[in-house]
Amino acid sequence: MSGKTYRANDVVSCVDEGEDGAMLYNPDTDESVLLNPSGLTIWTLLTSPRTIEEIAGHLAAANPGLTSEQARKDAEQFIQSVVPDFVIEAPNEH
């Protein structure tokens, strides 16, 4: 995962449901996934290509209590859960 860049799949729609988080929907696969507010923050970041390190950096900055190690784990876990239906690898776009 290290070094790779990721970005939101253009075909996916995102509906922000406020306190309930957000729903991503991929009409090509008819799959949907619910995001909590932290997941929505990461999704918003992914409108531009990002590495795991960059995502973890944003998470750590937004959550002062979060260690850099935990932020990286959270970022990796998120990416694993949404690739490839909702987020795609963008190796040459960064």
Rule CB under 8 A: which residues touch other proteins? 11-18, 20, 23, 25, 27-28, 30, 32
- Nearest distance from C-beta of residue 23 to other proteins, angstroms: 7
Residue (13 or 80) nearer to other proteins, CB: 13
Q: Give the DSSP per-residue string, the chain.
A: -TT-EEEE-TT-EEEE-GGG-EEEEETTTTEEEEE-HHHHHHHHHTTS-EEHHHHHHHHHHH-TTS-HHHHHHHHHHHHHHHTTTTEEE-TT--
- Nearest distance from C-beta of residue 18 to other proteins, angstroms: 8
- Nearest distance from C-beta of residue 9 to other proteins, angstroms: 10
